[in-house]
């Protein structure tokens, strides 16, 4: 059982600071070094996704940006009280768990 796990609620709350502390504890790296690495990782991944890329972390998850072409009948949006044409091409971020993560989630 992880130290951040809240058994009373049945779920853990895992934010950036708790992630840094737990990784630091497990690797014996300084929290400052872990924080720099985590921030760099988030920046690199954000740039990759912003450029329409795909990120796969083996045995964990896949993040990818899918381009969806809604064609000429994309519809309309109400923005600021005015009716505007909706974009015909949109980008959508999808998150898929790996097979091993799916299995771990199923078995608890």
Beta bridge partners of 96: 62
102 vs 100: CA distance, rounded Å: 5
Q: Tell me: the pLDDT tens digits for 60-97?
A: 999 999 998 888 777 888 888 888 888 888 899 999 99
pLDDT digits (tens, 9 = 90+) for 36-55: 999 999 999 999 999 999 99
Report which DSSP code applies to 59. Answer: T
Q: List the chain domain ranges.
A: 12-51, 52-108
With CA atoms as reference, report the closest residue to 25 among 85, 71, 33.
33
User: Distance (Å, rounded) from C-alpha 106 to C-alpha 3?
Assistant: 22
pTM of structure: 0.72
Q: How many CB atoms lie within 10 A of CB 20?
A: 21
């Amino acid at each position: 059982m992880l130290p951040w796990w809240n058994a009373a609620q049945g779920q853990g709350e895992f934010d950036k600071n708790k992630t840094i502390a737990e990784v630091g504890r497990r690797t014996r790296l300084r929290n400052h070094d872990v924080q720099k690495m985590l921030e760099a990782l988030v920046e690199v991944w954000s740039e990759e996704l912003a450029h329409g890329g795909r990120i796969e972390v083996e045995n964990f998850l896949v993040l990818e940006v899918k381009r969806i072409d809604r064609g000429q009948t994309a519809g309309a949006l109400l923005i600021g009280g005015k009716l505007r044409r909706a974009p015909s091409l949109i980008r959508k971020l999808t998150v898929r768990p790996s097979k091993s993560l799916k299995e771990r989630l199923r078995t608890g």
